[in-house]
Chain A
Amino acid sequence: QSVLTQPPSASGTPGQRVTISCAGGSSNIGIQTVNWYQQLPGTAPKLLIYNTNQRPSGVPDRFSGSKSGTSASLAISGLQSEDEAHYYCAAWDDSLNVPGVAFGGGTKLTVL
């Protein structure tokens, strides 16, 4: 059971816009910024978005992030076949018991 909740799957057709949600709480997304990662099979996670809406150099502007309250979203516009991957959200969790990084369970994006 992950601290952050993501839909297990999402899909879209080439050129379409898709969004992936990430639901958290008052100890994580509610007070912290969010990172998003893309993971292709057999490879390490790759940073797509940091600090909720910042893109590292080299990441296409088709990828964008946002946050509202205790939820965050990753939007991918102009969907391409190479976007088919697993996507994870993450945020620092200031829980008194176990401060650390909370990950979402991951969303498998399929490009139809």
Chain B
Amino acid sequence: EVQLVESGGGLVEPGRSLRLSCEASGFTFNNFELHWVRQAPGKGLEWVSYISSGGGNTFYADSVKGRFTISRDNAKKSLYLQMNSLRAEDTAVYYCASVPDYGGNSVPRYWGQGTLVTVSS
């Protein structure tokens, strides 16, 4: 069974940094592409970032480009999101999501339970 468990969320002041982690199990990690997707309170889903199965390709939403960095450690079966220069509008539940790289499209299939990031002074 595919399992994704996020951690690292919490309350942080504007301008500060936070690093999210996502631990995976139940599947061949290095054959899966990974995403971070967020959901602000009462709002819809917003894609944040993508990393390819080998880690060589990364993409970011315009809203986070230059501030957030996605990375993965295939040996540790883990995904990360380094978030710098945080703003109030980054407040959201952050989901880790995966899709097999042989799956037909690169859109998330499996989701973690999410971790809440609150940016406030």
A interface list, Cβ under 8 A from B: 2, 32-35, 37, 39, 43-47, 50-51, 56, 86, 88, 90-92, 97-106
Contact = CB atoms under 8 A, between A and B. Distances in A.
A106 B44 CA distance: 6
A91 B110 CA distance: 15
Contacts of A106: 44-45
Given A98-B59, A101-B37, A92 B44 contact: no
Nearest to A44: B111
A37 B113 CA distance: 14
Interface in B75-106: 95, 103-106
Contact of B107 (A56, A91, A99): A91
Contacts of B45: 37, 39, 45, 88, 90, 103, 106
A101 to B, nearest CB: 4
Nearest to B111: A44
Given A45-B95, A98-B59, 13 more contacts: A32-B105, A32-B107, A43-B113, A46-B111, A50-B104, A50-B107, A90-B47, A90-B108, A92-B107, A100-B50, A100-B59, A103-B37, A103-B46
A33 B111 contact: no
A106 B45 CA distance: 8
Contact of A44 (B61, B62, B114): B114
A86 B113 CA distance: 16
A47 B107 CA distance: 11
Interface residues of B, number: 25
B61 A92 contact: no
Given A56-B109, A101-B35, A88 B104 contact: no
Given A33-B104, A103-B44, A44 B112 contact: yes
A45 B47 CA distance: 13
A102 B46 CA distance: 8
A91 B47 CA distance: 11
Contacts of B107: 32-35, 50, 90-92, 101
A102 B47 contact: yes
